[in-house]
Amino acid sequence: MPPDITSPANDRIKWLARLRDRRHRDVEGLFVIEGKRLYRRALEAGLVPEITFLADPTDIATVGKVLTVDPGALDKASYRRESQGVIGVFHQLNTSLDRLQPAEPPLILIAENVEKPGNLGAMLRTAAAAGADALITVGETLDAHNPNVVRASMGALFNVSLAMSNWDELAPWLDANDIRVVCAAPDASEPLWEARLTGPLALVVGAEDWGLSDRALALADDTVLIPQDTGIVDSLNVSVAAAILLFEARRQRT
Amino acid sequence: MPPDITSPANDRIKWLARLRDRRHRDVEGLFVIEGKRLYRRALEAGLVPEITFLADPTDIATVGKVLTVDPGALDKASYRRESQGVIGVFHQLNTSLDRLQPAEPPLILIAENVEKPGNLGAMLRTAAAAGADALITVGETLDAHNPNVVRASMGALFNVSLAMSNWDELAPWLDANDIRVVCAAPDASEPLWEARLTGPLALVVGAEDWGLSDRALALADDTVLIPQDTGIVDSLNVSVAAAILLFEARRQRT
């Protein structure tokens, strides 16, 4: 049986290809998950696709409406020109702060002014492994549904609560939830392993080179240093710094 | 004054462009550093360029032979089609094990079967920040002079001792230097923070999904676990795992 769609000029394929652009994603309220492993993880996390484009229908379990597509045409619509056989279109995730329901005691990562989608994805992956309850971004308006976030998160985007917020909204929320705020700052004097990282906790990291805003530092109950050899290279990558903080917190909380 | 080279068809530019290929780099024993920040760091680290191609001679301090090039032609020879104004050609680094001179007590990171240049670069950067003496790779024959290694290392490639080795050579070297070998393994039972990470130490990490070889595990004086929530996503990225291990070692060694 020939596939439902054979031509890359098909209207549905053109529509799918347009979802590579943030503007189109946001207008439609949709985003795209490519590849079998990530698609499977999205279903496992309970996400329901709006539609699934598939090269080989015997290849993977699907949910909802499915269109079969010639593999070459499917690759054309892919972000990396390599669909790995499946592209699912999903409703965008709800990233509002008021939806968060942290565990008790909460362990939260706050990332300020993170610019690179790959770093956001990597932090989601690390936060999942560290057992953090949520990742909250403030500042730069990153696109959570950028394909590089999806890919770098290895599926953690579907499982770790992600909220995109700002200090005006976040400061009273942290206060209302009695969450201690610990900022990582290059000019702090207390090494992170001497600080108390137990109890309800939010760890705040800033983008490389930038440091944290005055607003972030003003909210800090404590500022800590990740002691490191500097001078040779820049400070640690922000997602690596987040990993060191989260796993030191995990050590103390064990 | 017109630049020395104006055309992307110039023989020197074609030669430079060919160095984007590993085969040409290895035949010539050269590699390429692009961009002002990395070029400056290479000079600071004592590297001497074979030749420097430069868009604007007033832009940056250089060493040795310099050719000025029309910016468009220079970009054409760049790995990412964006030279940032300078491309330096340098002699390849010596990555032989017998060149290493670890500090006392040594802290060494060993990475087995790392495949992605970006991960190798990230580990070099983190190793520099953690104050490690060396990074030693075994297994997969990675190209240390891949432009993505250079870039992801943020210059740490020029400063952290990097050796590319194999277990046949490395096992007796570790033994002769009385270096304790601690492997990170997903099926270990002892959390890393309960293991002793002081004294002469080599931390061994494997590529994601693969784990470590039997050969690596047979050399281990201790195997440790990075306790993490699994099931949702894969294990930690190898460079993140390395960071957590190195900074736990730093905590214990402080």
- What CA–CA distance (Å, rounded) separates A175 from A109? 15
Q: B32 by DSSP, 3-state: which?
A: strand
Per the prediction, chain A carries an average pLDDT of 92
pLDDT of residue A55: 92
B interface mutation test: which of A44, A124, A244, A253 has the most B CBs within 10 A?
A244
The nearest CA of chain B is from the CA of A48 a distance in Å of 17
Which amino acid, one-letter code, is at A16? Answer: L
Fold (CATH) for A11-91: 60s Ribosomal Protein L30; Chain: A; (3.30.1330)
Extended strands (E) in A25-133:
30-34, 49-54, 66-68, 86-91, 107-112
* Candidate from A71-85, B30-44, B236-250 with smallest mean pLDDT: A71-85
Asked whether the beta carbons of residue B154 and residue A228 sit closer than 8 angstroms, the reply is: no
Model pLDDT for residues B75-132, shown as the tens digit of each residue: 998 988 887 899 999 999 999 999 998 888 999 999 999 989 999 999 999 999 999 9
User: Which residues of chain A lie closer than 8 angstroms to B230, CB-CB?
Assistant: 129
Record: contact A128-B244, CB cut-off 8 A = no
Q: At what angle do helices A117-130 and B238-253 cross, to 10 degrees?
A: 60
Cβ neighbours of B130 in A, within 8 Å:
228-229
Residues of A in contact with B194 (CB under 8 A): none
> B154: nearest CA in chain A?
A233
The pLDDT value given to residue A113? 92
What CA–CA distance (Å, rounded) separates A248 from A254? 10
| CB contacts < 8 A (A, B) | 99
What percentage of residues in chain A have a pLDDT greater than 90?
Answer: 82
Decide if A230 touches B, using CB distance below 8 A: yes
Q: What is the rounded distance in angstroms from the CA atom of residue B115 to the CA atom of residue A118?
A: 18
ipTM for the predicted complex comes to 0.91
Q: Which two tokens stand for residue A210?
A: 């930038």
Chain A contacts in chain B segment 158-177 (CB below 8 A): 159-160
Q: What is the pLDDT of residues A204-247, one digit of tens each?
A: 999 866 689 999 999 999 999 999 987 665 678 899 999 999 99
> How far is residue A89's CA from residue A96's CA, in Å, rounded to a whole number?
21
Comma-separated ranges of CATH 3.40.1280.10 domains in chain A? 97-253
- For the stretch A18-63, pLDDT in tens is 999 999 999 999 999 999 999 999 999 999 999 999 998 888 899 9
C-beta atoms of A243 and B233 within 8 A:
no
Q: What is the mean pLDDT of chain B?
A: 92
pLDDT at residue B26 is higher than 90: yes
Question: Is A226 at the interface with chain B, CB within 8 A?
Answer: yes
- Burial of B189 per CB tally in 10 Å (0-12, 13-18, 19+): exposed
Q: Do B234 and A154 touch (CB under 8 A)?
A: yes
* A72 φ, ψ (degrees, to nearest 5): -65, -40
Q: Does A254 contact chain B (CB < 8 Å)?
A: yes
Asked if A234 lies within 8 A of B154 by C-beta distance, the reply is: yes
- Looking at residue B107, what DSSP letter applies? E
Nearest CA in chain A to B231: A129
Q: Would you call A228 an interface residue with chain B, using a CB distance cutoff of 8 Å?
A: yes
Cβ pair A247:B251 closer than 8 A: no
CATH architecture under which domain B97-253 falls: 3-Layer(aba) Sandwich (3.40)
Instruction: Of A207-221, B11-25, B41-55, give the lowest mean pLDDT range.
Output: A207-221
Q: What's the confidence (pLDDT) of residue A145?
A: 95
| B186 reaches A (C-beta below 8 A) | no
Q: Does A252 touch chain B (CB under 8 A)?
A: no
Q: Mean pLDDT across the stretch A179-198? A: 95
Give the span between the Cα atoms of A228 and A230, in whole angstroms. 6
pLDDT of residue A245: 98
How many whole angstroms from its chain centre is CA B199?
24
The Cβ of residue B151 has, within 10 Å, a number of other Cβ atoms equal to 19
Whether A230 sits inside 8 A of B156 (CB atoms) is: no
Parts of chain B belonging to CATH 3.30.1330.30: 11-91
Nearest-CB residue to B128 (from A41, A125, A233): A233
Whether residues A129 and B229 touch (CB distance < 8 A) is answered with yes
